[in-house]
Amino acid sequence: MRPVKIAPSVLAYDLSDLRGAVGIADRGGADLVHLDVIDGHFAPNITFGAGTIRALRKNSKLVFEAHLMISEPARYLRDFLDAGSDIVVVHAETVDGPAFDALHAMVHSFGKQIGLALKPGTELPEWAEERLDRLKTIIVLTVNPGFSGQKMDVGQFPKIERLDRLISGKGLDVDIEVDGGIDSSNVSEVAKAGGNSFVAGAGVYNQPDPVLAISKIRQNAMAARSGA
């Protein structure tokens, strides 16, 4: 069974102290740091870019995952790899099969991994189904991309279940990562639907004790995955 992973999204923290946000992820025993890069074009917000990731990289050994909510991933991919991202996730709405192949080749030339993200209205495209074994992760967005602190759309659960059947059926270890509105109170539903990797912004950083919030999310997710 694919392992439970927790990925705090630093976008929800005090943006003048992203280093502190990464420190919290470290102390909470997170598996990944989720870095939401938004260009104001693909989604209606502008966050941070490769320079910020490069600066944060010096402060942590955790796996850095760059969630690229940008219209032209090919134009900037190298910058995000150079900056020290370990996993680069591009949106299915911004690429097709051949474009993905080119991105995949570049990511692998850096010895890094690639993932694919799906907006709420997007299903896994056929070209991606044919390339599943090349993906490290599939991010299912349970909110519209742009902002932290939105409510999770449970209407995305059937998509998570379909992906779980598809990936488990093929015996692949592609993570099913769910992103948007997750906290310790609803993570078990997401885990039961088939998610194994959980992004949490407000669910970690807007809690009274963010370090504790990470372990609570993990505990509840693991209990649900093991059927407790």
* Closest approach of Zn ion to the CB of residue 199, in Å: 5
Do 8 and 200 form a contact (C-beta atoms < 8 A)? Answer: yes
Exactly one of 71, 122, 150, 219 binds ligand DX5 (CB under 6 A); that residue is 150
Within positions 38 to 77, which residues make up the interface with ligand DX5, using CB under 6 A?
67
Site string for ligand DX5, 203-222 (x = CB under 6 A): x-------------------
Sheet holding 87-91, edge to edge: 5-8, 197-200, 175-179, 137-141, 113-118, 87-91, 63-69, 32-38
Question: Cα dihedral angle (206, 208, 214, 218), rounded to 10 degrees?
Answer: -110
Do 28 and 215 form a contact (C-beta atoms < 8 A)? Answer: yes
Residue closest to ligand DX5 (Cβ): 201
Write out the two tokens for 187.
Answer: 């993570």
Would you count residue 143 as binding ligand DX5 (CB under 6 A)? yes
Exactly one of 36, 65, 86, 175 binds ligand DX5 (CB under 6 A); that residue is 36
Give yes or no: 36 in active site: yes
Q: Which of 36, 86, 175, 183 is catalytic?
A: 36
Per-residue CA distances from 28 to 25, 65, 86, 181, 214 (Å)? 5, 17, 20, 19, 6
Give yes or no: 179 in active site: yes
Give the residue with the Cβ less far from ligand DX5, 23 or 149: 149
Part of the chain binding ligand DX5 (CB under 6 A), chosen from 9-17, 127-135, 188-196, 218-226: 9-17
For 183, half-sphere exposure in the C-beta direction (CA atoms, 13 angstrom radius) is 17
What residues line the site for ligand DX5 (CB under 6 A)? 9, 11-12, 34, 36, 67, 143, 145-146, 148-150, 179-182, 199-203
